[in-house]
A and B are shown apart, each in its own frame.
Chain A
Amino acid sequence: SQTIHQWPATLVQPVGSPLSLECTVEGTSNPNLYWYRQAAGRGLQLLFYSVGIGQISSEVPQNLSASRPQDRQFILSSKKLLLSDSGFYLCAWRGTGRETQYFGPGTRLLVL
């Protein structure tokens, strides 16, 4: 069966520090991968998605970047965090040709 992992689960970082969040998927090949951000009590904002290794589509111009160095690995990064980067970050995957997305447990980021 397929599983999706995210780490860390919680992160507290100072403003101006770098960021690296990792997402990995097991049990499937060539998934579509997604990074979302969710503000408290709000819906999901799609940040990036990837249809294959090295292929990244950016949805919202901002302080973040994404990379997909391996088929089942998706990384969200920042060189310098802003206060506004605080939030709940969710990774998701979707099988090729399928319609449902499957979400990881999320990473809660607090920038102070």
Chain B
Amino acid sequence: SQQGEEDPQALSIQEGENATMNCSYKTSINNLQWYRQNSGRGLVHLILIRSNEREKHSGRLRVTLDTSKKSSSLLITASRAADTASYFCATPIQGAQKLVFGQGTRLTINP
């Protein structure tokens, strides 16, 4: 079964608005990662948050982690058309030997 599950599956917003995606996971983790995938391309690592961190920022990205609820959120502020992509959360298993990815949130930014 999937370790991470994203919500919503699809999100469509207007350019300039903020986009929030959520990820839930099942087992204890020492970090959680977010990746972006443009259509037909490979995944690109966005940000990693460790289990002892509650919030992390990178440019227009803000990630939160609530280990008590086993959930994380990714906020993209002031969205741009170039942010249109699928976003995946991933959690390590087997001592970080492997990553388990969720099904992703498909984000569309409308001009």
**In the complex, which of the residues B2, B40, B43, B48 contacts A103, with contact meaning CB atoms closer than 8 Å?**
B43
Interface on chain A toward B: helix, strand, loop, or mixed SS?
strand
| Stretch from A14-22, A36-44, A62-70, A71-79 at the B interface | A36-44
**In the complex, which of the residues B42, B48, B100 contacts A106, with contact meaning CB atoms closer than 8 Å?**
B42
Interface size class of B (residues with CB under 8 A): 20 to 34
**In the complex, which of the residues B2, B44, B92, B104 contacts A99, with contact meaning CB atoms closer than 8 Å?**
B92
- Nearest chain A residue, comparing its CB with the CB of B30: A99
Whether the pair A103, B44 counts as a contact (CB closer than 8 A) is: yes
Given the known A-B contacts A49-B98, A90-B43, are A99 and B31 also in contact in the complex, defined by CB atoms under 8 Å? yes
**A101 contacts B by Cβ under 8 Å:** yes
Residues from chain B with a CB closer than 8 A to the CB of A87 are none
Whether the pair B45, A43 counts as a contact (CB closer than 8 A) is: no
Please provide the chain A residues from 75 to 98 with a CB less than 8 Å away from any CB of chain B in the complex: 88, 90, 92
Given the known A-B contacts A49-B98, A99-B31, A99-B33, are A43 and B42 also in contact in the complex, defined by CB atoms under 8 Å? no
What are 24 residue pairs bridging A and B, where the CB atoms are less than 8 Å apart in the complex? A32-B97, A43-B2, A43-B88, A44-B43, A44-B88, A46-B99, A49-B97, A51-B97, A59-B98, A90-B43, A92-B42, A92-B43, A99-B96, A100-B48, A101-B43, A101-B45, A101-B90, A102-B45, A103-B35, A103-B42, A103-B43, A105-B42, A106-B40, A106-B42
> Chain B interface (Cβ within 8 Å of chain A)?
2, 31, 33, 35, 40-45, 48, 88, 90, 92, 96-104, 106
